Amino acid sequence: MNWNTDSGQILLSVYDHYLEEGFNQFYVENIIREFQFDIAKLQRALRSLISLGYVNKINYLTGNLDIFAFTITQEGLKVCAQARNDLNENSIRSVKDALKNNRMNLDIIDRKLAAFGFVHSPAYLEIEKQHILENINYLEKRLNELEK
């Protein structure tokens, strides 16, 4: 992969960020493999993360770009701003769908944790569970705002 392109730098930032946040490496690599070069496709990748309920992480990515070690170009900033706008324009239905997905993911994580037992549970599962709980809290607040 050519990491020197605008989209390559942004994808590398996304990749590093999600790994640091404890997300599954193969999941992140699949997104990068699928959407590696085209800025428009990167925008779709960000939207797919939003639709999967990783709302807080997208807010973090689009709202705090200065934390990344890589230079994000103006084009990249536009993509991230558009992703943020897309998030803000989510309908009640899409927020409910994201809530449903997060609750299902939480149930799956809880079953995995139970299978490992508390003492032997992998740390990444606990981290992912915490992120899902944060997402659920955010989505519930967002749903309340949209329904007002």
Q: What is the residue-wise DSSP string for 28-76?
A: HHHHHHHTSS-HHHHHHHHHHHHHTT-HHHHHHHHH-GGGSSSPPPHHH
Identify whether residues 17 and 78 lie together within a single domain. yes
Task: Give the span between the Cα atoms of 4 and 37, in whole angstroms.
Answer: 10
136: its two tokens:
């659920």
Position 1 in a domain: no
Position 20 in a domain: yes
pLDDT higher than threshold 80 for residue 140: yes
Predicted local confidence at residue 143, as pLDDT? 82
- Across the range 119-124, mean pLDDT stands at 70
Identify whether residues 39 and 68 lie together within a single domain. yes
pTM of the shown model: 0.38
Identify whether residues 13 and 61 lie together within a single domain. yes
Domain boundary among 42, 69, 88: 88
- DSSP letter string, 97-139: HHHHHHHHHHHHHHHHHHHH-TTT--HHHHHHHHHHHHHHHHH
Identify whether residues 22 and 84 lie together within a single domain. yes
pLDDT top residue among 6 and 17: 17
Distance of CA 120 to the CA centre of its chain: 27
- Across the range 115-121, mean pLDDT stands at 68
Q: pLDDT averaged over the chain?
A: 64
AA identity, residue 75? E
Q: Are 13 and 68 in contact (CB under 8 A)?
A: yes
Identify whether residues 121 and 66 lie together within a single domain. no
Domain count for the chain: 2
- Residues spanned by the domain of 70: 6-88
**Which range has the worst mean pLDDT, 24-28, 64-68, 83-87, 97-101?**
64-68
pLDDT top residue among 74 and 98: 98
Identify whether residues 79 and 142 lie together within a single domain. no
Burial 22-55 (b: 16+ CB within 10 A, else e): bbeeeebeebbeebbeebeebbebbeebbebbbb
pLDDT higher than threshold 60 for residue 36: no
CA atoms within 13 A on the CB side of 130: 8
Identify whether residues 67 and 99 lie together within a single domain. no
pLDDT higher than threshold 60 for residue 134: yes
Position 44 in a domain: yes
